[in-house]
């Protein structure tokens, strides 16, 4: 037997290597000729495939496959026609200066509004009221109060939803509304909420609640769509109140995790027609995963709301199913339009070349570029890639601040105290190209100033990273940065 194995094992091993080589050639062909990836991402995956022949193939199946564009989210024909009518009317109004009651910020940035209308149904709304939350407890207290006051429906979607302290508070509130006969739908991302399973919603479903997991796993931890996650956080209540921003649901978002400490994030509560855009986004996401309880356009989902506000907002979404990187384009347009100042807060700063170069050009042109990142990693490679990128920005005169009061998770950008963006998209390749994201682009001086002032308040509990400090980093940190830069296109 040993004699047989000693003769045959080399042949078996050679055969396996040959099969792995053939698979790698096949995948390389797909990467180069069929998948329209960025060159950096293509080269990174080719390195993985050829240096790790068998493991690389498995990693590609789990993390590398792209989903088909234009096939995941579909509008009913009637809704599609109605939305196209709204978009076309707004384009005509923009081109002919016929917008109703435009603010100074909307008038000044019509070209950006037009760009956002062209690529996706990011229709402009101008009658919104907005509350900004930077503290988890305050945000969740307000959310639970709104849930308990619901009279028709509650639609709730989070990337991470944990049934811990705050998660149970929200579930209890939702089940109370179910007992009152209110429609409740919950959508969570299967990998982001990997401690959550549909079996944990027995009582919720018995009361009439509907719940779905986005891109569910075939088996625990085996998910061939692992790399394309729904990172959106959306709540719509009665079609009148909407929430969007950075907070997920879990006790760490209340600052109760010792590893992260205080959790600093930014979230919005909206009233007005912008809620219709969040409702539409939720409907598309829900119907992509639910065949049993599909949503159709009903009047109660899109009521005529008079908020009494006057804030201009476009709700933009993006994902690997889209031809255009809508949110990234919005960020780039904001940076390109900035004349005085740019304020960015992000936990992950791993942008592509176009984004990083746009910030360098702005800083070198005399625009005050300010970037704030956390002082601790929740993903080590991501953190060191972030650190390397902000170090590069320092050479252009940009200012970089390290948040020291816990963990910074906010995803915000403000330019010239005129436009602000708050949402779920980080300034990294994953948010731009791989995840499903949603952001509110706000054309309002008062709101932009408010978001900028939160940045300035955070400076009080931050340290400034200077060129001198960055140049003194240890050889070990330089090695970690070099490795992180190499694999950053696929992080």
How far is the C-alpha of 52 from the C-alpha of 68, rounded, in Å? Answer: 26
What residues have CB less than 8 Å from 90, skipping those under 6 apart?
99, 113, 117, 123, 124
The angle, 0 to 180 degrees and rounded to 10, between the axes of the packed helices 110-119 and 326-337 is 170
Q: Where are the beta strands (DSSP E) in 395-469?
A: 399-403, 407-408, 412-415, 419-423, 427-428, 437-443, 462-465
DSSP string, 328-397: HHHHHHHHHH-SSEEEEE-S-EE--HHHHHHHHHHHHTT-EEEEEEESS-SSHHHHHHHHHHHHHHHTTT
340 is catalytic: no
Q: Within the chain, how many helices (H) and strands (E) appear?
A: 17, 18
CA 330 – CA 115 distance, rounded (Å): 8
Q: How far apart are CA 96 and CA 437, in angstroms?
A: 32
The helix/strand/coil state of 181 is coil
Check: CB of residue 237 under 8 Å from CB of residue 329. Answer: no
Helical spans, DSSP H, in 62-201: 77-95, 104-108, 110-119, 136-148, 165-179
Q: Of residues 409, 417, 444, 458, which has the active-site annotation? A: 409
Examine the residue annotation and report whether 206 is marked as an active-site residue of this protein: no
Nearest one of 229, 437, 432, 415 to 315, comparing CA atoms:
437
**409 is an active site residue:** yes
Q: How many CA atoms lie within 13 A of 52 on its CB side?
A: 10
Of the candidates 341, 478, 367, 354, the one whose C-alpha atom is nearest the C-alpha of residue 427 is 354
Query: Phi, psi at residue 262, to the nearest 5°?
Result: -60, 135
How many other β-carbons are positioned within 10 Å of the β-carbon of residue 422?
Answer: 25
Q: CA of 140: how far to CAs of 153, 169, 172, in Å?
A: 18, 9, 13
**SS3 for 251?**
helix
Please tell me the distance from the alpha carbon of residue 486 to that of residue 483, in angstroms, as a whole number.
Answer: 5
Residue pointed to by tokens 């599609």: 80
**Which of these is catalytic: 233, 267, 399, 480?**
233
The total of other beta-carbon atoms located within 10 Å of residue 175's CB is: 18
In contact, 231 and 431? CB cutoff 8 Å? yes
Distance CA 415, CA 367 (A): 10
Annotate 446-455 with b (16+ C-beta within 10 A) or e (fewer): ebbebbbebb
Cα–Cα distance measured from residue 178 to residue 176, given in angstroms and rounded to the nearest whole number: 5
Contact indicator for 462, 477 with CB cutoff of 8 Å = no
231 catalytic residue (yes or no): yes
**Given the structure tokens 């009518």, which residue do they identify?**
85
Which position among 127, 190, 416, 433 bears the catalytic label? 416
Q: Which one of 155, 267, 399, 411 is the catalytic residue?
A: 411
Write out the catalytic residue numbers: 231, 233, 238, 409, 411, 416
């Amino acid at each position: 037997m040993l004699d047989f194995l000693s003769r045959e094992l080399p042949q078996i091993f050679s055969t396996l290597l040959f099969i792995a080589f053939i698979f790698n050639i096949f995948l390389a062909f797909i990467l180069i000729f069929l998948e329209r990836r960025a060159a950096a991402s293509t080269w990174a995956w080719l390195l993985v495939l050829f240096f790790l022949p068998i493991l690389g193939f498995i990693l590609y199946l789990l993390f590398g496959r792209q989903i088909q564009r234009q096939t995941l989210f579909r509008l009913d024909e009637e809704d599609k026609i109605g939305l196209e009518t709204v978009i076309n009317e707004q384009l005509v109004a923009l081109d002919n200066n016929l917008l109703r009651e435009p603010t100074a910020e909307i008038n000044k940035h019509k070209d950006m509004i037009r760009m956002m209308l062209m690529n996706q149904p990011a229709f402009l709304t101008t009658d919104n009221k907005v509350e900004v939350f930077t503290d988890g407890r305050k945000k969740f207290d307000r959310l639970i109060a709104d849930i308990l006051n619901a009279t028709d429906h509650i639609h709730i979607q989070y990337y991470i939803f944990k049934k811990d302290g705050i998660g149970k508070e929200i579930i209890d509130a939702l089940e109370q509304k179910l007992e009152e006969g209110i429609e409740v739908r919950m959508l969570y991302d299967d990998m982001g909420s990997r401690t959550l399973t549909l079996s944990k919603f027995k009582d919720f479903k018995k009361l009439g609640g509907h719940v779905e997991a986005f891109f569910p796993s075939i088996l625990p931890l085996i998910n061939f769509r692992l790399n394309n996650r729904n990172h959106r956080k959306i709540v719509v209540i009665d079609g009148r109140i909407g929430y969007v921003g950075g907070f997920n649901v879990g006790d760490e978002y209340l600052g109760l995790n010792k590893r992260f400490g205080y959790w600093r994030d930014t979230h919005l509560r909206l009233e007005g027609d912008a809620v219709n855009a969040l409702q539409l986004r939720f409907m598309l996401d829900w119907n992509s995963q639910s065949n049993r309880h599909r949503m159709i356009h009903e009047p109660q989902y899109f009521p005529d709301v008079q908020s009494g506000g006057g804030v201009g907002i476009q709700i933009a979404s993006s994902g690997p199913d889209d031809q255009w990187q809508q949110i990234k384009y919005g960020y780039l347009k904001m940076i390109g339009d900035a004349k005085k100042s740019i304020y960015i807060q992000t936990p992950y700063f791993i942008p592509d070349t176009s984004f990083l170069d746009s910030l360098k050009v702005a800083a070198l042109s005399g625009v005050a570029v300010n970037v704030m990142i956390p002082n601790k990693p929740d993903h080590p490679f991501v953190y060191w890639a972030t650190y390397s990128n902000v170090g590069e920005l320092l050479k252009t005169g940009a200012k970089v601040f390290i948040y020291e009061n816990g963990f910074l998770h906010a995803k915000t950008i403000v330019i010239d105290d005129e436009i602000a963006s708050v949402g779920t998209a980080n300034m990294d390749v994953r948010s731009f190209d791989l995840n499903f994201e949603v952001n509110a682009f706000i054309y309002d001086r008062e709101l932009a100033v408010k978001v900028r002032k939160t940045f300035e308040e955070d400076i009080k509990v931050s340290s400034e990273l200077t060129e001198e400090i960055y140049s003194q980093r240890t050889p070990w940190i330089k090695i970690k940065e070099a490795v992180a830069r190499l694999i950053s296109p696929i992080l």
